[in-house]
Amino acid sequence: MNLVIQSLDPIADTHLKPLTALACSQQTERADAGRVLRLRGADTLQRPDIDTYCRAHRLDYAFIDPTLRLSNFGLLAMDMDSTLITIECIDEIADFCGLKTEVAAITEESMRGEIKDFNESLARRVAMLKGLDASALERVYEERLRLSPGAKTMLAGAKAAGLKTLLVSGGFTFFTEKLQARLGLDFTQAID
């Protein structure tokens, strides 16, 4: 298997030796300006140790079958907030009400699994935004919404391989529809 490790920032050289040792890999490659590290021939039995290391250093990782190609798939489905884009839209909307800290705390509770019912979490956050002018949505989109590093490259690769693209969000259609038009995404699914 290949072990692919990714970070928003370039992966420090100090991570190479421990990750190579944990994965029992003999070949490493860097990509995307050092934000992606591929370790070929990784030992999946080391997954718990790799998981512990990556969590401690805030690195994302995945084991990938080296025989698979993008063309083996038909759909690329991706989440919007803090995945395709760098922000949590609802937290940024709340900032216009002076409630970012309170709304972000509920978002974090939900992401940690402390609030099991997503609908409850969303209802609590949206209720705090009552009375906010709709122009705040446009301001968030124009002033704060940024694509995650590598997003355009990923989408171009998916399209070149013939994949359809789906953007999903527990957020609002306002943002998913704007991103669909901007990026040429095939499908979106979000809350109305």
Residues acting as catalytic residues: 79, 81
Mean pLDDT, residues 62-79:
93
Same domain, 171 and 183: yes
The pLDDT value recorded for residue 10 is: 93
Same domain, 17 and 37: yes
Long-range contacts of 41-45 (CB under 8 A, 24+ apart): 41/1, 41/2, 42/1, 42/2, 42/3, 43/1, 44/1
Same domain, 109 and 127: yes
Same domain, 129 and 179: no
Same domain, 22 and 77: no
Residue 192: pLDDT band by 50, 70, 90 thresholds? low
CATH number at residue 107: 1.10.150
In whole numbers, what is the pLDDT of the chain averaged over residues? 91
Same domain, 9 and 55: yes
This prediction has a pTM of: 0.76
Same domain, 54 and 75: no
Report how many domains make up the chain: 3
Lowest-confidence region among 10-14, 72-76, 121-125: 121-125
- Half-sphere exposure (Cβ direction) of 10: Cα atoms closer than 13 Å: 7
